[in-house]
Amino acid sequence: MLASSFSLQAAVWENTNQWDQTWEEKYSNWVENEYNEEVYMKGKYEGIATDCADAVYGARAIFSFENGLPFAIRDTTGGPAMISNSMSRYDKIEDPIARLKKFLWYIFDIAGTKSLPQDTYPVLVNREFVAAGGAWIRPRITTRRFFTGAEETAQPGHAALIKKVEDTGVVFMIESTVPAAVRKLHSTSGLVFLPENTYGGLRKFYRPDNYKVPKNELPGYSLEQFEMGLDGRKRKLKAWRKEVYARLATREESKEETLQRYANNFCSMMQSRIEVIQKGEKKRLALGQCMNEKEFDLYSTPSRDGKARDALKEFVEVEFDSQKVTEKRLEKLSGYLASCGDLNVNAQVKMTMLEAAIKMAKEDMSSDPNQTFAARWGLEKEKRTGCKQYY
């Protein structure tokens, strides 16, 4: 009895089960049916702040906690040991949920899109291994200046959790964003970047006992997705995504389904944009000066806005066989956008999704966090600020 009591106190939670294929399937079903957009807004896990990588790690950790399964990730601080639920630093916290939250905050603090590729591996593109609970990752891409060697960020990293694979082959994901905050998660089906190196793409979590297993012996391990998508001599996103859907599909997606899906993707991007800009405006007013590189990285939206415009191009292409986005074309497809509801930018400002789409397509919405709130939403033109554009 004493040994059992000590075991409970010596770990974040006690392991009563071990990962196997049955538990992987249960995890996948749990993500698809229970890990929802409001998981951190209400209920047991209310109040946990997340960014994109946190929402991915959080799902695996919470399921492990709820089912007495081991959870472990590589130590990002450089230590030889794994960071796992066996750590004893939270012994003094009696409440299991409070202890888990402390553990999650620690994980979220030390881990991110840079570490996720070390805790996941790329898989075969089929319905067995590309499944709910897996990860979709774009590593942070940096380049170095030739003379100084200083880092120059080209693209920020991003990660999302696979929520469901439809019978049409479309991969739906659930995601958070930066900066970390207690927020409603967002859903999307936008595979919006081409996996260009083996640290990204469609991936599966390592089981704690699999970290030392040779990669070619891991369940479903494969690098095939990094060779897919050839269009002529080059790999292209559109061709890659088409091949992914074909491999995962059990039926063809209808034109109406495709149009609504692209509309929903755009709507989700606009909804998630609201919070980033609200926080950016608050920061801008508090600073009273130009944002530094870190602040610019947190509150700017060039990548997000670029993806939104790409979504609109694909949206109109379905109907018009051309990616030219015009106001007239968007108006013809406005019913799909209207199904999302209006965009409540703040208590005073509301616009229809059609209005938002037109402004975004015309690049009237500024991605620069040094611009005013009105300029960020295309309600006024950008003004010269003299502030540095980091990307």
Report the pLDDT value the prediction gives residue 274, as an integer from 0 to 100: 95
Out of 225, 248, 271, pick the residue that ends a domain: 248
Bond preceding residue 70 cis, omega within 30 of 0: no
Q: What is the pLDDT of residues 172-201, one digit of tens each?
A: 999 999 889 999 999 999 898 999 999 999
Residue 263 forms part of a structural domain: yes
Q: H or E element: which one contains 308?
A: helix 302-320
The residue segments making up the domain with residue 269 are 255-376
Residue 4 forms part of a structural domain: no
| Sequence-ordered list of residues with C-beta below 8 angstroms from that of 233, at least 6 positions apart, any chain | none
Out of 200, 219, 248, pick the residue that ends a domain: 248
Does 189 lie in the same domain as 111?
Answer: yes
Does 218 lie in the same domain as 262?
Answer: no
Report the pLDDT value the prediction gives residue 390, as an integer from 0 to 100: 86
Do 185 and 177 meet the contact criterion of CB atoms below 8 Å apart? no
Neighbours of 322 (CB within 10 A): 11
Whole-Å CA distances, 380 to 193, 330, 374: 31, 22, 6
Q: Please count the CA atoms within 13 angstroms of the CA of 295 that sit on its side-chain side.
A: 17
Out of 228, 248, 268, pick the residue that ends a domain: 248
Does 105 lie in the same domain as 233?
Answer: yes
In whole angstroms, how large is the CA radius of gyration of the chain?
22
Report the pLDDT value the prediction gives residue 176, as an integer from 0 to 100: 95
Cα 263–chain centre separation: 19
Residue 381 forms part of a structural domain: no
CA dist 17 and 35 (Å) reads: 21
Q: What is the pTM of this model?
A: 0.88
Bond preceding residue 179 cis, omega within 30 of 0: yes
State phi, psi for 343 to the nearest 5 degrees.
-100, 105
Report the pLDDT value the prediction gives residue 145, as an integer from 0 to 100: 54
Does 343 lie in the same domain as 212?
Answer: no
Q: What is the pLDDT of residues 313-347, one digit of tens each?
A: 999 999 999 999 999 999 999 999 999 999 999 99
Q: What is the pLDDT of residues 101-159, one digit of tens each?
A: 999 999 999 999 999 999 999 999 999 999 999 999 998 766 555 455 555 555 668 99
Q: How many domains does the chain have?
A: 2
Return the closest-CA partner of residue 356 out of 391, 323, 389, 311: 311
Does 329 lie in the same domain as 219?
Answer: no
Residue 386 forms part of a structural domain: no
Does 243 lie in the same domain as 259?
Answer: no
Neighbours of 301 (CB within 10 A): 22
Q: What is the pLDDT of residues 249-286, one digit of tens each?
A: 999 999 999 999 999 999 999 999 999 999 999 999 99
Residue 72 forms part of a structural domain: yes
